[in-house]
Structure 1
Amino acid sequence: MKNIFTKEVVDEIVKRINNLSPNTQANWGKMSVSQMLAHCCVTYEMVYTDKHPKPNAFVKMMLKMFVKKTVVSDKTYSKNSRTAPQFIISDEREFEKEKKRLIDFINKTQKLGEKYFDGKESHSFGKLTITEWNNSFYKHLDHHLTQFKV
């Protein structure tokens, strides 16, 4: 898994995002490119904002038992896999606004660095290692950028 905390990988991801246009079509799935960018922002909203309510103790335990491994492992996501309700973007979004938000979140994460994330509490899974944070950030972005052929 590439390291999202390095400038080189962030530059590569940003270049891929910049290769998108408002008319880019997906290889699979139902989201528009603008919805996909907003969808990818949710991961970072959960880290940097209070926009999404944290799950209660029971739900968090269930997420840790049944979802965490899929999200933080180095195994790639399959096409058309299920997503949590908070990640579903059903309204249309403004392409340039969502693109800028996502790039800003990615750059912020890289600048804070892996030490900031070492043992940091996640929204849904408890404390994560640097590797788990990296895998969750990078593979989600890579999955959706591949979905949109960049």
Structure 2
Amino acid sequence: MKSLFNSEAHEEILSRVNQLSESSERQWGKMKAGQMLHHCQFPLKIALGRYNMGTPSPLLKFMSRFFKKSLYNDKPWRQGLPTAKGLKVVDDKDFDEEKKVLIGLINDFLQEKNKKEWDPHPAFGSFTPEQWGQMQYKHLDHHLRQFGV
């Protein structure tokens, strides 16, 4: 599984982000390109300790045990998966600004590649550093495929 901590995967993701435009068309889902770029910031901010998504409901905590491994395995996520309430983006977003912020977060995340101790994810619990890198890559890959890049 590719990891956002790997320099080649990092460069691949940045290249794909840079292929997006405000007029990029989604292949599935409801978000526009700017909204997707904003949405993709949440998992990176959570990992970097820059976003508090609040305490997940007991049901979400229970359900997360059943699909935690799918966050970092080799199998691509299926289209149209539900989005956690605190990570949904419904307002229009400025594409250029969201792209700039996302690229900054991707680069900030890479800078943490040697970090040994990570705070647990609020919904999914503890991850190894390797799993953090894999799930960040997988989430970005999922949404970039959503927009055909």
Equivalent position SS for 1:121: coil
Q: Percent identity?
A: 34
Match of 2:12 in 1: 12
Structure 2 counterpart of 1:74, one-letter code: D
Unaligned runs of 5+ in 1: none
Query: Deviation above 6 Å: which 4+ runs of structure 1?
Result: none
In the superposition, the TM-score normalised over structure 2's length comes to 0.88
Tell me if the contact between 1:34 and 1:93 (Cα under 8 Å) persists in the aligned partners.
Answer: yes
Deviations, residues 33-88 of structure 1 (Å, cap 9, x unaligned): 001101101112222324421336x4564144233223233321001111211221
Distance 1:30 1:19 in 2: 20
Distance 1:96 1:51 in 2: 24
In the superposition, the TM-score normalised over structure 1's length comes to 0.87
Unaligned runs of 5+ in 2: none
Q: Structure 1 residue 68 and structure 2 residue 68: aligned?
A: yes
How has the CA–CA distance of structure 1 residues 74 and 119 changed in structure 2, closer, same or farther, with 3 Å as cutoff?
Answer: farther
Match of 2:129 in 1: 130
Q: Which has the higher helix share?
A: 1
Tell me if the contact between 2:3 and 2:135 (Cα under 8 Å) persists in the aligned partners.
Answer: no
**Aligned Cα root-mean-square deviation (Å):** 1.9
Match of 1:90 in 2: 90
